[in-house]
Chains A and B, each alone.
Chain A
């Protein structure tokens, strides 16, 4: 199972683009990469999911290089309400079961 690491924290200003990376050197063939946002005392909220290349939705983009050993979540034009902890989650089907591991989490602070 892929061990996943992220920067501990990041600061940004309102209106800037923020890129958060996740390293998963041992990612398996069947593993997907999913990013979540978590506010204090709440469950993680889905942001975006991908397998390879680039995925974009209305709130974020996800960049996954060809070797899939890392991924980058891109948040365009962040606002104060984007202050939260961001986790990557790596895993998927594994021989009739599922295996998942969360990244270490990145605490994003958006400043006015």
Chain B
């Protein structure tokens, strides 16, 4: 089945130690998103890629970066994690369906729960 995969599902990192979260998709969607979801809060959009074009939300800290080497993969890099960055990180995709019909429905991965010690 076509899907959005996130690895790892659980990640523990130390305060200030860089960490990378990965996302892959088999949907061949042209848009990929990263969201941060803290406990008991709604997901918050950090940034997204429209094809190779990177679009950052205005209030996303510089500590968060992203890379998209190809259509299928997207990475979230946290350069110096702080205790406040502990959260669930969700990857999502959207794009044209196989029928060629556009839709703005986002397909979410299972998330990576990041713990900062």
- CB interface residues, A 36-89, toward B, < 8 Å: 36, 41-46, 49, 87, 89
User: Is chain A's interface secondary structure helix, strand, loop, or mixed overall?
Assistant: strand
Contacts of B106 in A (CB 8 A): 34, 46, 89, 100
Contact B108 A102 (CB under 8 A): no
Interface size on A (CB < 8 Å)? 24
CB distance from B22 to the nearest CB of A (A): 15
State A46–B27 Cα separation when bound (angstroms): 15
CB of A45 within 8 A of CB of B31, answer no
Sort A-B residue pairs by CB-CB distance and give the 6 closest, nearest first: A43-B108, A102-B42, A97-B55, A32-B104, A44-B108, A105-B42
> B interface vs A, CB < 8 Å?
4, 31, 33, 41-45, 48, 50, 53, 55, 88, 90, 92, 94, 103-111, 113
Which residues of A are interface residues toward B (Cβ below 8 A)?
32, 34, 36, 41-46, 49, 87, 89, 91-93, 96-98, 100-105
